[in-house]
Amino acid sequence: MIKSSDLGNNYLSRSLEFMTDALDSLDGEIYRYLLHLMEFAGQMTEILDVGAFRIDVKAYLAMAALDRKLNEWYCNLPDHLKWRPVNIQNAPASFLLLQ
């Protein structure tokens, strides 16, 4: 996982702006939400120390806050991007990737 801190300033936001302009479609919308999700994954890797076998209280609280943000992210997804039987019938591959 490449952390956002490994990239130049505002690289992800510039990518998001490019995608907004270039992909003004369902796929573009899905990839914008996926980009936000990937930022959460990067934050998770920064919280956890892969070499350690214990998680301290600070890391636990940070992970709990990240879990709350992730749940808010999913709740804020438009209905047509949530996992629903009607949505998965004609969903593009990018929809399944988002899920």
**pLDDT tens-digit map of 16-66:** 566 555 566 888 888 888 888 888 888 887 776 655 656 678 878 888 899
pLDDT for 12: 57
Number of domains in the chain: 1
Please, what's the largest Cα pairwise distance for the chain? 44
Residue 37 lies in domain:
9-98
pLDDT for 76: 93
Q: Is the pLDDT of residue 78 over 60?
A: yes
Q: Is the pLDDT of residue 8 over 60?
A: no
Amino acid type, 52: A
Residue 1 in domain: no
Tally of residues, the chain: 99
pLDDT for 55: 64
Burial track 36-72 (b if 16+ CB lie within 10 A, e otherwise): beebeebbeeebeeeeeeeeeeeeeebeeebeeebee
Residue 2 in domain: no
